Each structure stands twice: as structure tokens, then as C-alpha cells.
Structure 1
Amino acid sequence: MIQIHENTRIYIMCPPRIASGGPELLHQLAYKLGKRGFDVAMYYYPNDVEQPVSENYLKYNCKYVTEVEDREENLVIIPELYFYFADQFKNIRKCGWWLSVDNLFKAIEAPAHYRMIRKLKIKWLHRAVTINGKVRGKFNYHLAQSEYAVDFLRQWKIDAVYLSDYLNADFLKASREVDVREKKPQILYNPLKGYRFTKKIMAAMPEARWIPLQKLTPAQVGELLKESMVYIDFGHHPGKDRFPREAAIYKCCVITGKRGAAAYQEDVPLPEQYKIADRRSNIPAIVKLIKSCLADYDKHIDNFAAYRDWIYKEEEAFEKDITQIFVKV
């Protein structure tokens, strides 16, 4: 529980003019807290960017400031990519929000040894770093967007409260109008995540139509999801990613690997048959499953009904969680 006093202002740090899953969630939180009567403002960093609000998030109508009142009754919520800037605040209460796990260790601003730790995948050193106070000692509270992050922090003996996210209303509304009769036997993928392995699958299915989800507007992504049968994601899943959920509600068959959050049913509750580890030896099984989804789409898509229902209820769960976490005193 985070106590919010009558004179508390909540600041939410966010990169300026960037439209992606993390920044949208930060705006969603500000919007929901504002609707509950809290004094909340976005704090874009760097704070010298003109018109810092991405046009995609103007709909959330979040006010923003260029300075933070560093007083102990206030609260600043800091996503993991900004953990290294936490020392600029001396008095204010600080809440670290782990929107991902892996991204902390590859941030440009991260100390060099952090980036090397992640590159070498020496997991026990992660814990040593936090015990030495590099992350653990900076924050009064920790929130985690995924069960993957909650479990990761538990290994560091850091308690984090689960606060996830939800898909935006435009996607949810449009997804209910999908006509499966218009689906085409094509496969979507994200070339920015897991492409080294994905291209091996593509090489094993040269006859298939592969479409990358890259350099597209949200509306264009929606159109491709609307007409496609399959979405695959063999990325590292640093948090509870949005693309698999967006694909699922647009009635795509979703196939993932087992890295990061994808290994957790709490984060990616797909039927187990649609999760296959990204090993070369598994490529024949992955190809077989993709071909089956394309050839027998009507049968496979019914297996994702529970996943879709769970996604549609995420906003309600998010509102319930913030009511329990942010408490007026």
C-alpha cells in the first residue's frame, strides 16, 4: 500500500514523444489515478523537449510538468529505464515500476558492468548488484508489470506489488468487429524481437507469407492483425508484452517461445501446446504447428477463447489493483 496524503502530488516519469507499450502504460496509470481524484502529473525526461506528449496519448488528457517538487509527501513513479536517474531526487518518495526486467540491464544509461552482466547472462551477479545497493536502496516501493518481474525480484529478496496493464480502448473495440471469414493464411512477426530465431523458421517455410510488424501506425497494425491467421513471437518477453495480446483479441493464433514472461502462465496464459522453446531442434515442431494453424484455423482459434476473455478483463483488474495500492490517508 502506498499512502497518498491530501497534499501529495504523484509524478510519473516517462520518455517524451515516444509511442510504445511502456509509455502508454505510464499514461494509462496517470489517467486512472486522475479519475480517482489524485493530483497526478507526467514528468517527461529529458524535461526540455517541446511538446513532449506523443499524439497517440493525447486522448488520456494527462497534465505534465517540467520540474518535480522534491518533497517527502510527494511520490515519483520511475520505470526501470530511468532507475539510474533516481539519485536526482533527495526527499520525495520513490516507487520503482518494473515494466520489464531485461531492459534494465541494457539501457544506454546503465553502468557498463550492468550491461556486461546482462550480455554474459551471469544471473547470480544480478542479485549481487542489488544487494550492494545499486537498485535496492533507492526506492521506497517496487511495482512489477509481470509475474516474471515479481519472481525475478523475489530472488533478490525485494518485495514487489503486482500492477500490470491493459490494452487501449481502440484495439479492444476494433477487435470485436473481426470477421474470421476474411482471414488470410499469413504469418505476422515482430522483427525487433527474436528475429535471429524467427528467420530460421521462415527459412524452413519459404512458401509461406511472412509479414513483419514494423514501422506501422496502430491502425495499420490493427488491419494486419484483423486479416491474418497466425502471429509468432520468439522474442525475450522482458515483460507482459502487448503484441501477443493484441494478436489474440484480433483472433490470430498466437505461438510463442518460453523466454522471460512467456514462461509464466500468469503473464501469457496460452494453452501450453502453443508455447515452444526457441531451440533449433524444435523448428520442425514449430513449423508443423504453424501449418496446422493455417490449414485448420477454425479449430485452433477456439483454443484461444479463454485467453481473449482474460485480455478483455485486464482493465477491470488494473483498476482494482490501483485502488488497493494507492490509498488516500
Structure 2
Amino acid sequence: MSNARKIFVLYHRGLRTGGPEALHQLVSTLRELGQDAYLVPHYTTAATPRVAQYSIYDAPEADTIEDTAGNIVVVPETFIEDVFAYKHAKKMIWWLSIDNALTFMGERLWQRTTGGLPTKIRETWVPFLRMLKHGDTPFQMRQRRDIVHLVQSSYAWSFIASRLNTVPSLLSDFTPHDEFGPANEAKRNPRLVTYNPAKGAHIIDAVRKVCDPGIEWLPIQGMTRSEVVSTLQTCGVYLDLGHHPGKDRMPREAALSGALAVVARRGSGAYFADVPIPWEHKIMPDDNEVSATAAALPRLMDNLSEEIRKQDAYRSAIKAERERFRKEVTDIFIDNRLGKDAYDYM
């Protein structure tokens, strides 16, 4: 693929989340490596202003994707139906998440919907019909051999390999860490737990009701970026009991800030390659999840400094992400070494 003329990366313009930032990182890294790469805003977001904070990346936009032989088109899983429109360029799907991927949305809604058969049908017929229309059901995707599958996490690697009967290639991302300078440990409150309400808030609410009343709670919402950084640098624990659809950013940012990251063993949180923290820092997502979390927090807080030191290797791995990402990009787009997983980079 080293002779690719241009590489186009479709993205959601104006959205500041981990996925769009990873797409910026890909284009910027490709250009560092001498490739002619561009972001292309999805037509539904073309009128939205670009995210100013992403100007740190060398990621210029092209107006359209040039569907010609020798070019490459990278499509995130959120716009998966667009990939089938390209007939000549090399097609790649980057699975930045699994739980949010349209291909598997219908069956996940089916599994999570409570009630009888009529309720399940009523809640899931729209995504199932959409997939049939666009040809991206899991069965149809298994038949396509003209698509290269890239995955952001080991969780996604395992899922795509088993569900689509293919060998995907790891293409992770990296966590910018310049803004996370040395934390002032004198200001850290070991009894403060912070969390993202978009990540398992209903479980955390249940934990709060039965937890030690001396524990303080602070949701990360409605904050500026500097306020988020300050909160992570002063809390004792960052708690994430969500689904971990990909290798999430905020647990990594919390660890870089010197806080203790505690996650549920869901999605990427279940994989040591994605979240390499000790067993005792992960909560088993079973019927005892709420009580187990409530019991774990005071125990971890009583020895917070020691528990945080147990995540030193995690912080070191996060700081090395950028160089590893560069190797992943080189393998896929320049040397055509496909099929690598996280353990090939350890």
C-alpha cells in the first residue's frame, strides 16, 4: 500500500469525542510518515465548525473522497454504510467501538430489551431494517472480502475476528499528555470519587446509595477542559462502570493525572491489553457489582498511594502510546503488514 496516491478518512466534523480525535490522529500520523492523507467531513456534518482543540493535529480536510484505484478510504464504524459506495479505492473500516457500531446495534438492542417478543420487535425493527437495506448485517459483512478491518482495541479485535470471520489489524490511538503535568498530591482528596455520567451512571447511582457516606462524589459534566483536568488531578478515584465500547480515553487521563482508575470488566475493560491495571482495580459485572464496588472503594482509599503505585506500568504504557500508534500506522498503510494484534507490539 506504500504506493497509495491519497488516503481519505471520513469523520464526524464538529464532534469532540475520542473517535473523531483518533481520526485526526490517524491523518496527522500518516502525514508525518510522508503520506498524502486528508479528513473528509461526512455530508451530514459538513456545515458544522471544526473542533478548535484539534488544531494541534496536522489533519487538513478534502472536500470529497476520490474513489480511484490506488487510493484508500477509511470509514469509522459509525458511518459504516458509506463504505459500500466506493468501488475503486481500497476500503477500510476502523472499528473505534463495538457497542456503538451500527452493524451490531440491532442485536444488542434485542439482547438488552426487557419484555416479551412483541416488545423486542417493536424496539429493534428499525435498526434491523436499516442494516438489511444497506447490506451491513453481520452475515452480509462476513461475505465481503474487499474490506480491511481495523480495530481500536483488543476487545474489538476479538469481537470482529469471531463475528466476521476475518483477521483484523490493531490501530489504536494515543492520549495526548502534555496538559497532565505533575499533580499536586497535597491537593488530592482520597475520599473523592469522580465519574462520567455517560458511562454507567445508573450503576454508580446504585453504588452511591449503599456506599460509605463519608465518600464524596463529583460527576464530570458541564466542565471546561481545564476543569476536567483539575478534577482528575485532585480526585482519589475515577470510577467507570460503563460498557467500554472501545479503549476509553478518560480512564487513561485519570491515571495520567495521578488518580486511581477503577473500571468494570465490560467490553475493553475486561481485556488486560486494553486496560492493563491490577485485577483488584476491576469490578466484576455480575449480580454483586453494586455491593462489590461499594466494598472495594473504602478498601482502595485506605491505601490509596500504594494502590496508585500499582498503576505505574499503566501510566508508562499510556505515555508510550504515540510511538506505538506510529508503528501500527506504518505496518498497515506503508508496509502492508496486516493482522497484528496488541501482543505484537508488547
Q: TM-score, normalised by structure 2?
A: 0.84
**Structure 1 residues 152 and 312, CA, compared in 2 at 3 Å: closer, same or farther?**
same
- Corresponding position of 1:204: 210
Aligned pair 1:102/2:99, yes or no? yes
Aligned pair 1:183/2:181, yes or no? no
Candidates 81, 84, 87, aligned match of 2:81: 84
Shift of 1:90: 2.1
Equivalent position SS for 1:41:
strand
Candidates 52, 58, 70, aligned match of 1:73: 70
Aligned pair 1:166/2:164, yes or no? no
Aligned pair 1:15/2:5, yes or no? no
Alignment of 1:130-149 (within 5 A): 132-134=139-141, 137=144, 139-149=146-156
Consecutive aligned runs of 4 or more in structure 1 exceeding 4 Å deviation = none
- Corresponding position of 1:298: 305
Aligned pair 1:239/2:246, yes or no? yes
In structure 1, distance between residues paired with 2:37 and 2:326: 16
Aligned pair 1:5/2:3, yes or no? yes
**Structure 1 residues 243 and 94, CA, compared in 2 at 3 Å: closer, same or farther?**
same
- Corresponding position of 1:193: 199
In structure 2, distance between residues paired with 1:220 and 1:147: 31
- Corresponding position of 1:278: 285
Letter in 1 for 2:2: I
Matched-pair contact (CA < 8 Å) for 1:229–1:293: no
Q: Deviations over 1:71-98 (max 9, x none)?
A: 0211110110010122222222110101
Equivalent position SS for 1:174:
coil
- Corresponding position of 1:120: 110
**What is the root-mean-square deviation of aligned Cα atoms in Å?**
2.3
Letter in 2 for 1:225: L
- Corresponding position of 1:224: 231
**Structure 1 residues 315 and 303, CA, compared in 2 at 3 Å: closer, same or farther?**
same
Equivalent position SS for 1:4:
coil
Letter in 2 for 1:5: N
- Corresponding position of 2:271: 264
Matched-pair contact (CA < 8 Å) for 1:143–1:161: yes
Matched-pair contact (CA < 8 Å) for 2:203–2:290: no
Candidates 59, 62, 71, aligned match of 2:59: 62
In structure 2, distance between residues paired with 1:276 and 1:51: 39
Shift of 1:284: 3.0
Q: Deviations over 1:182-216 (max 9, x none)?
A: 10121011111111111111111244211111232
In structure 2, distance between residues paired with 1:116 and 1:47: 22
- Give the paired residue count: 313
Q: Deviations over 1:221-270 (max 9, x none)?
A: 11100111101100000010011111111111111111101111000111
Letter in 1 for 2:301: L
Letter in 1 for 2:63: T
Any unmatched runs of 5+ in structure 2? 113-127, 337-346
- Corresponding position of 1:319: 326
**Structure 1 residues 166 and 208, CA, compared in 2 at 3 Å: closer, same or farther?**
same
In structure 1, distance between residues paired with 2:283 and 2:59: 40
- Corresponding position of 2:122: none
**Structure 1 residues 326 and 37, CA, compared in 2 at 3 Å: closer, same or farther?**
same
Identical aligned pairs, as a percentage? 29
Equivalent position SS for 1:319:
helix
Shift of 1:138: 7.3
Matched-pair contact (CA < 8 Å) for 2:19–2:96: yes
**Structure 1 residues 51 and 287, CA, compared in 2 at 3 Å: closer, same or farther?**
closer
Matched-pair contact (CA < 8 Å) for 1:47–1:66: no
Q: Deviations over 1:265-323 (max 9, x none)?
A: 00011100111123342433322221123332222211111111111111111111111
Any unmatched runs of 5+ in structure 1? none
Matched-pair contact (CA < 8 Å) for 2:13–2:45: no
**Structure 1 residues 115 and 301, CA, compared in 2 at 3 Å: closer, same or farther?**
closer
Letter in 1 for 2:199: K
**Structure 1 residues 131 and 252, CA, compared in 2 at 3 Å: closer, same or farther?**
closer
Matched-pair contact (CA < 8 Å) for 2:14–2:50: yes
